Structure 1
């Protein structure tokens, strides 16, 4: 999937918020963002009121409001003084009232002429993902902070990392009102021929297997990282395309030709579809991992119960091997707080591995995982989206296969395995 943000935004400015800009800090009574610098090239240099979509992401919820934002010069009536441009947000705007000093803020000029202001707490997955999607580099080392506020830097959306999106990226963008573009839609007729193009949805394993067959450029024996990445991203794209084909008649049956739409039914249908989407993504991910492991010749068992009652997703080379030669691998498309489940899995081994496609990791999360002896495994194309100090702490799929293969070879050499 591709966001094609340049088709939705004329440009995006980004910065870290100062205490004077965050109403919750109670440093200033104004409800304003400092707006000087390059962002004026985007918004103009005259008093203007824009329609505005406000969003605030914290760890627990998303706050949203639609009202206006006003660009103005705070010194417009003071002669012989340099302009001081600000963006005024209305008092009582819930997303803006909730933001904190140090939060990350994006101001975008939409192609419709309206403005979008998005704020996210920097320790959240949403902040990491938005920073990647917009290519805004807010995670770069901090420089010298001006006394009053940081100016917005303007970023080129041609350099945005808005391709090869995962389901969480797509979900985030849809919250912003942007529907991702589905790639590989030309393959939809193959899916319809295979599975009928109507409910019920096809079995996960069969759908995933067909997606692998349709991804002809990936060989797991040559490049397991690229193969796993291609299989997962292709499956996400094709599932989105097939879902639209299948779900549209369901929506028409539930909501078309109704004078009034029952809100409870609306949310029930939306929740059911969203939960099914993420559940299938997780099961498809496990199917692709198993196919990759089979291609590499690694021995493993799935969902085996260990002596302590835990059931890791994959156990290498199996229960017959001694604990010091076993390798446990959990699979989660995204981590969030669910990585803590891995801590209780497979206590026979000191280090547990977690393979994920998550593009929303940050240093705090990875450090917390390492403190609990959980090592993160990601395909190298996902690892490449992380820079700085984080990327070297992420294990590639090839490196994990090497670790598991060496332990398997030692188990065979010792006579524990044939």
Structure 2
């Protein structure tokens, strides 16, 4: 149920919320967001039974200042790098003036109930309270020092949260707030379905692919064909992200149409007195999720393959090395790798993972002849602890240049971009 009126009050002016929303920016999904580090009394139930956050005046700029206690529906999430699936629980936050009826300035608090999320919280964890367009709240708690916590900070543009109290953003239409490839995936990890489509290509895709999903290689080739005047040799970082962004939008466009078409056919089957095929629906839903997960990694490999070809690099994709390991890319190729006389210092291997998590360690065992290995990912804001361990294991992280900004300055000095990697391989292959 929508508890927010069509008109809302902000800064003394009554504004139509739809007019405030700017497509393609965070403002399309959120009206305001506040963030802080949890204090001991906010995180530890043994030290305080109040279960409250202090709703400062800036927080109330987007939550309001109601006369009576107001219960606001909220979805709580606890995020950690150790588990790809967050702890999720639906509950509420209660906004109220704890000084009501007293001759003092109002002081508002946000009461939160005990949930599985609050039970996981610890002092120093990141707390984010975001007001969604439907009036409900998204309450995110991310483990202190985690990569996912840094991703959330970067997404909403919070840089320094060391001081107590909330930092608040109600302007969500700056260039930082533009929703692009990296931010779209972070949003979807916290349950925000981002609508992105390019309907001008829909009829062409339906005709070309006969109303079905093509192979990932076919779709990657098609996505690149819709983009002209790009120079993979001069701007490899920009080109790779442009190809990935275009394929993602085109895929979502085709997917939305095909899913709607399938749903319109229904899922029929007799269950008691009802005519519903639950297993069929669940199977279809699972296939959609699996397709999304597997496709991104394969698309990234497909576009990298084309990029390497355009840069004149010799390689073998998924060559077999020791113990039947299969590095994603081996330069200059499998024949050179298995030739004992070939100088191992001129060999290069590249693992490719759209997201890393702890899976980066798999790359370490994929080519024994190569001591210094490389891993390309689109993962934003990997924790300092993880990147330090990578460096200690002689694994160099490679990211498109536009994603470097999500890392700390110290990490950025160590990171390699796609241009730097292609230059390295070109030098090892004799220019």
> The TM-score by the shorter chain falls in which range?
0.7 to 0.9
Length-normalised TM-score, structure 1? 0.86
**Pairs aligned (count):** 395
Greater RCO (CA < 8 Å, at least 6 residues apart): 1
Residue 6 of structure 2 corresponds to which residue in structure 1?
Answer: none
Residue 164 of structure 1 corresponds to which residue in structure 2?
Answer: 180
1:194 aligns with one of 201, 208, 226: 208
Residue 251 of structure 1 corresponds to which residue in structure 2?
Answer: 263
1:20 aligns with one of 34, 38, 41: 41
1:62 aligns with 2:86: yes
Residue 330 of structure 1 aligns to a residue whose secondary structure is strand
Q: Matches of 1:3 and 1:261 in 2, distance apart?
A: 37
Residue 311 of structure 1 corresponds to which residue in structure 2?
Answer: 326
Worse overlay, 375-384 or 307-316: 307-316
Q: CA RMSD in A?
A: 2.5
Instruction: Give 1:172-211 correspondences, 5 Å limit.
Output: 172-174=186-188, 176-198=190-212, 201-211=213-223
Residue 268 of structure 1 corresponds to which residue in structure 2?
Answer: 283
User: 1:153, CA displacement in angstroms?
Assistant: 3.0
Q: Deviations over 1:313-364 (max 9, x none)?
A: 1111124242111011111111112111101111211211111122242222
1:73 aligns with one of 84, 97, 110: 97
1:89 aligns with one of 107, 112, 122: 112
CA 1:172–1:261: 2 relative to 1, 3 Å: farther
Residue 278 of structure 1 corresponds to which residue in structure 2?
Answer: 293
Q: Matches of 2:62 and 2:311 in 1, distance apart?
A: 51
User: 1:215, CA displacement in angstroms?
Assistant: 1.7
Residue 73 of structure 2 corresponds to which residue in structure 1?
Answer: 51
CA 1:107–1:273: 2 relative to 1, 3 Å: same
Contact 1:21 1:34 in 2 (8 A): no
Residue 395 of structure 1 aligns to a residue whose secondary structure is coil
1:39 aligns with 2:59: yes
User: 1:128, CA displacement in angstroms?
Assistant: 2.9
User: 1:111, CA displacement in angstroms?
Assistant: 2.8
1:213 aligns with one of 216, 225, 233: 225
Contact 1:105 1:118 in 2 (8 A): yes
Q: Matches of 2:117 and 2:278 in 1, distance apart?
A: 24
Residue 384 of structure 1 corresponds to which residue in structure 2?
Answer: 405
User: 1:399, CA displacement in angstroms?
Assistant: 0.4
Q: Deviations over 1:374-404 (max 9, x none)?
A: 1111111222343532222210111001111
Residue 42 of structure 2 aligns to a residue whose secondary structure is coil
Contact 2:35 2:129 in 1 (8 A): yes
Q: Deviations over 1:75-131 (max 9, x none)?
A: 445544x5443210123x222232222111111222333322122224444323322
Q: Matches of 1:233 and 1:135 in 2, distance apart?
A: 21
CA 1:260–1:338: 2 relative to 1, 3 Å: farther
1:357 aligns with 2:372: no
1:223 aligns with one of 221, 231, 235: 235
Residue 361 of structure 2 corresponds to which residue in structure 1?
Answer: 340
Q: Deviations over 1:10-61 (max 9, x none)?
A: 111111111111145x221221112224212222334432222222223323
Q: Matches of 1:207 and 1:223 in 2, distance apart?
A: 22
Contact 1:312 1:328 in 2 (8 A): yes
Q: Deviations over 1:156-215 (max 9, x none)?
A: 31234442224xx546534655321214332222222211223xx202111111111112
Contact 2:269 2:277 in 1 (8 A): no
User: 1:73, CA displacement in angstroms?
Assistant: 3.1
Contact 1:3 1:178 in 2 (8 A): no
Contact 2:317 2:330 in 1 (8 A): yes
CA 1:172–1:272: 2 relative to 1, 3 Å: farther
CA 1:12–1:90: 2 relative to 1, 3 Å: same
Residue 298 of structure 1 aligns to a residue whose secondary structure is coil
Q: Which runs of 5+ in 1 are unaligned?
A: 411-418
1:151 aligns with 2:172: no
Contact 1:300 1:314 in 2 (8 A): yes
CA 1:238–1:102: 2 relative to 1, 3 Å: same
Residue 401 of structure 1 corresponds to which residue in structure 2?
Answer: 422
Q: Matches of 2:266 and 2:381 in 1, distance apart?
A: 35
Residue 368 of structure 1 aligns to a residue whose secondary structure is helix
Residue 413 of structure 2 aligns to a residue whose secondary structure is helix
Q: Which runs of 5+ in 2 are unaligned?
A: 1-22, 337-341
User: 1:239, CA displacement in angstroms?
Assistant: 0.9
Contact 1:4 1:180 in 2 (8 A): no
